[in-house]
Structures are given as structure tokens and as C-alpha cells.
Amino acid sequence: MIWAIIAVSCAFALVGLTAYTGLWRSWTRSWSADRIFPTAFLGFGGICLGVFAALLSTHAFVLTAVMMIAAFVLILVAVGLFVFGVPAWLTPRWYRHRSST
């Protein structure tokens, strides 16, 4: 189950990163930044959640706590971006340039 969480989270992170870096730009024709860019935060939060779950049975208490806090913060940021929208300063330069023309 932990590996499934990490695998799905990696897919979300990959979608968000390819969109953010500009390697995948065709999504701008049908979706808004409010639906694509937060997936990177959601993916990294899920990866941290999977690492947290994997570390629960170990004695790495500090790393487990850090992963738990990072997962919570990243997923909370992703939900906030999905709900309230992505501010312009958080979008990449190529997207701001494309939106202004």
C-alpha cells in the first residue's frame, strides 16, 4: 500500500513538474493553472506521506516527524491552491508571459 501511495504521488509530481518547467504546455488550451500547478505540491506531499508511513516502524523519529510535517504542509498548500487559485507570483515565467499576450 505504501508503494502505491508513493507511485501515484510520483505521477502527480511528474505532471506538476513537467507543466511548471514548460516541458508540457499543451494543457493551457483546456485547463487553467489552478488545476495543474498544485499537482506538484500534492505529489510531493504524497511522497512525504509515503515515506512517513514507511518510517513509522523504524527508530528514525526525527525524520519521521519531519516527513509528517512536510506531508501535512505540502498537501495543505495544494488544497489551498486548488480552492483559492494559484497566485501569479507562483506561476513560472513562461506561463505569465503566455497569459499576458
Report domain extents, the chain.
2-100
Write down how long the chain is.
101
pLDDT tens-digit profile of 9-33?
A: 999 999 999 999 999 988 888 888 8
Q: Is residue 100 predicted with pLDDT exceeding 70?
A: no
Contact status, residue 49 vs residue 9, Cβ threshold 8 Å: yes
- Using a cut of 0.75, tell me whether the model's pTM lies above it: yes
Q: Is residue 101 predicted with pLDDT exceeding 80?
A: no
Cell of 39: 499537482
